[in-house]
Structures are given as C-alpha cells and as structure tokens.
Amino acid sequence: MDDRFNRIDWHKTFPVHALTWPFPNPFHIEVGIARTDLLDDRISGNKWYKLKYNLKAALEQNAKGVASFGGAFSNHLHALAAAGNRLALPTVGFIRGELVEPFNPTLTDCSTWGMQLHPLTRKAYRERHDSAFQDRLMASFPGFVLLPEGGSNQLAVAGIADMVGVIESCKAAFDYIVLPVGSGGTLAGILGYYLGREDAPIIIGVSALKGVAGVLEETVLRLVGTEENFIDDLSMDDLLPEWWIEHDFHCGGFAKVSSELQELKARFECQTCVPLDNVYNSKVILAVKHLLECGKIPDRARLLILHTGGLQGVRNWSRPLS
C-alpha cells in the first residue's frame, strides 16, 4: 500500500467526559460529551473518520487525486484539503456558487493547502448527484476519485464505526447518543455499528437541514445498507437500534442562526468551556435542551452528545443574524 497513508496518525483518540449541563434539567439526566473536535485542528471531528478509508482506498487505487463537492464554508472540503496536503494527494473542490475574492477563511485554507477550486452555478450544483454530470466534470481530472458532498458513502460509514469504537473504549455508560445530521453518513455509521446489538443505546439525530423529513431518514438507511429490509419490514426491529431524527431545530434552514441560538451558544460555551459551531453542534445543544426540559428523555437517563467538530466555520460568521 502507498506509504503516504501513514503520514497521518489515524489511531489518535479523543476524550469522552461528563458535562455539567448549564440549562434546566428537571429530570436529572446525566449528560456527557464526546469531543471529536479535539482530534485535529484541521481534519475536524467526524470528517477525520469519514475521510479515513476513502483516502486509503484512493491511495491503494493509485488515484491521481480526490475531488468532491461543497459550499464556500464546507467543513468537508476544508478537511479534505488538509488531509490531501498532508498525504501529498492532490484535491479538487467543486464549489457551489461564485468564487468571490478575497476568499473567506475556509476557502483561503483550502487554496493554501493546494486544493483546486472550481465554482459551479447553483443550477449546475443541483446536478451533483447525476452520474452523467459527474462524468463531464471528472473528464477534466482523469484518474481522480470523486467523493459525494459531505463525504458520506459506505467507506465513510466504515470510518464512523471506528469512531464509535473509540467512544466505547472509554467505558462511558450511556442510554442515548445525540448528534447533528447533515448528509447522513455519521448517523448511518453509528446505526451500523450497533446493528443487531441488544445493548445498543437510542440514537437521536438533529437535522441541520429544513424540509428533509423522510428524505433524510431514507438516505441514512441507504447508507446503513438496510434500506431493503426497512421497506419490506423484515426483522428491522431486531437489526437497528431505536433511532429517530429531530427536524425542528434548524432555526430556519441550513446555516440559519437565530438570536435564541446565539444566546444559547454563548451561555453554553461560557459555562462549559466547550466551543460550538453555528451550523451543527449549537443546534444539537438546542435540541437537547428541549428534550431534557420537556421530559422526552426519561428520568435519570444517561445521554451522550457527539460533538462533530466544524469549528473552522466559526471564523466565517461576521455576517448579521438571519
């Protein structure tokens, strides 16, 4: 295998610890947090695991490089560019919308680390899942591997299983895992890890997207690889742990921020010393606050919040609240 893969220490771990919950907790829920944001300052959080086996496969295939899709503030492209730089593996980012100079901090980093940035009109970007469109794009980059937006595919799901293994190795006891959901790969990896396990916790995803109820669940099941079982209702209760996605905490849509969310974020960071991003993890804290106060989590249950990183995006938030 190409020795470049070992230029990154893929065996690094992250802490899992108790959290003093800074909001009302009438049912005395024990709250903990898994800090994947502390894995690396550039290959952030869950992206570390989603990229791991994709990059390994690209190197084993002697790919000339790796390309993917994302917005101008994409955590995925940021992590891909950083990893490609460390592995001496060329990267290409197909960016939604115009490239406006000077670049924002995310794109500045990507460009500095050698990623070729190619803008796509928003109309063209909507075709990113179409195989013929992908072929036309990749004709300019022969020998490159193309990853989906967010990096969510079967190899990403396998990487996330490694992440859950790290959490379990910490011997932390929990009844629930709560995490943000974007492209669905992290949630799918966690569900896949616990597939068929009687001791599995209940998994709650918090959607960062608006208007995707049903569609997002189908995407997750397809990534788990049990979509057929779900449709045919074959042994699903015996395979998947209990899980659902909360769809009411997006604050108006992807990357939308309310004054309530900003106030919650500031209070949480001040009292816990755990930094949050605006797009994903702050909305998980908002959802958990609601779940704990309304009694949706049973009395004295143990709940683990998965912090998925993405803190590089905080630098881009000089704009006013929506």
| Structure-token pair, residue 269 | 């960071």
Asked whether residue 279 is domain-assigned, the answer is yes
DSSP letters along 32-89, please?
Answer: EEEEGGGS-SSS-THHHHHHHHHHHHHHHTT-SEEEEEE-TT-HHHHHHHHHHHHHT-
- Whether 62 and 135 map to the same domain: the answer is yes
Overall size of the chain counted in residues:
322
Residues 298, 300: Cα–Cα separation, whole Å: 6
Residues 25, 289: Cα–Cα separation, whole Å: 8
In a structure prediction context, what are the per-residue pLDDT tens digits for the chain, which is 322 residues long? 579 999 999 999 999 999 999 999 999 999 999 999 999 999 989 999 999 999 999 999 999 999 999 999 999 999 999 999 999 999 999 999 999 999 999 999 999 999 999 999 999 999 999 999 999 999 999 999 999 999 999 999 999 999 999 999 998 889 999 999 999 999 999 999 999 999 999 999 999 999 999 999 999 999 998 544 444 554 555 789 999 999 999 999 999 999 999 999 999 999 999 999 999 999 999 999 999 999 999 999 999 999 999 999 999 875 443 3
Asked whether residue 322 is domain-assigned, the answer is no
The order of strands in the sheet holding 116-120 is 116-120, 91-96, 65-70, 144-146
Asked whether residue 111 is domain-assigned, the answer is yes
Q: Give residue 236's domain range.
A: 3-42+153-316
- Whether 123 and 200 map to the same domain: the answer is no
Residue 139 backbone phi and psi in degrees, to 5: -60, -25
- Whether 164 and 306 map to the same domain: the answer is yes
Assign 3-state DSSP to the chain and report helix, strand, coil percentages, each to 5: 45, 15, 40
Are 215 and 258 in contact by the 8 Å Cβ rule? The answer is no
Are 31 and 71 in contact by the 8 Å Cβ rule? The answer is no
The pLDDT value recorded for residue 171 is 86
User: Which has the closest alpha carbon to 104: 320, 312, 319, 316?
Assistant: 316
Asked whether residue 143 is domain-assigned, the answer is yes
- Whether 251 and 207 map to the same domain: the answer is yes
Asked whether residue 321 is domain-assigned, the answer is no
The pLDDT value recorded for residue 260 is 95
Residue 31 backbone phi and psi in degrees, to 5: -115, 130
Asked whether residue 99 is domain-assigned, the answer is yes
Supply the CATH number for residue 124's domain: 3.40.50.1100
| Structure-token pair, residue 112 | 């500095």
- Whether 239 and 98 map to the same domain: the answer is no
- Whether 32 and 159 map to the same domain: the answer is yes
By the 10 Å C-beta count (0-12 exposed, 13-18 middle, 19+ buried), 181 is classed as: buried
Place of tokens 């959490």: 167
User: Which has the closest alpha carbon to 179: 275, 35, 52?
Assistant: 35
- Whether 183 and 308 map to the same domain: the answer is yes
Residues 56, 155: Cα–Cα separation, whole Å: 10
Asked whether residue 89 is domain-assigned, the answer is yes
Are 35 and 15 in contact by the 8 Å Cβ rule? The answer is yes
Query: What is the number of structural domains in the chain?
Result: 2
Neighbour count for residue 297 (Cβ, 10 Å)? 22
Q: Which of 151, 176, 210 delimits the end of a domain?
A: 151
**Residue 91: its H or E element:** strand 91-96
The pLDDT value recorded for residue 219 is 96
Are 279 and 285 in contact by the 8 Å Cβ rule? The answer is no
74 is catalytic: yes
DSSP letters along 229-284, please?
Answer: HHHHT-SHHHHSPSEEEE-S-STTSTT---HHHHHHHHHHHHHH-----TTTHHHH
- Whether 194 and 295 map to the same domain: the answer is yes
pTM: 0.94
The separation between CA 316 and the C-alpha centre of its own chain, rounded to angstroms, equals 18
Helix ranges restricted to H, 74-150: 75-87, 105-112, 122-125, 131-138
- Whether 289 and 147 map to the same domain: the answer is no
The pLDDT value recorded for residue 238 is 72
- Whether 20 and 93 map to the same domain: the answer is no
Residues 36, 197: Cα–Cα separation, whole Å: 24
Place of tokens 């790290």: 166
Asked whether residue 245 is domain-assigned, the answer is yes
Annotated active-site residue in 44, 68, 74, 152: 74
Q: Which of 128, 151, 174 delimits the end of a domain?
A: 151
Are 14 and 65 in contact by the 8 Å Cβ rule? The answer is no
- Whether 117 and 255 map to the same domain: the answer is no
Q: Which of 151, 167, 196 delimits the end of a domain?
A: 151
- Whether 183 and 279 map to the same domain: the answer is yes
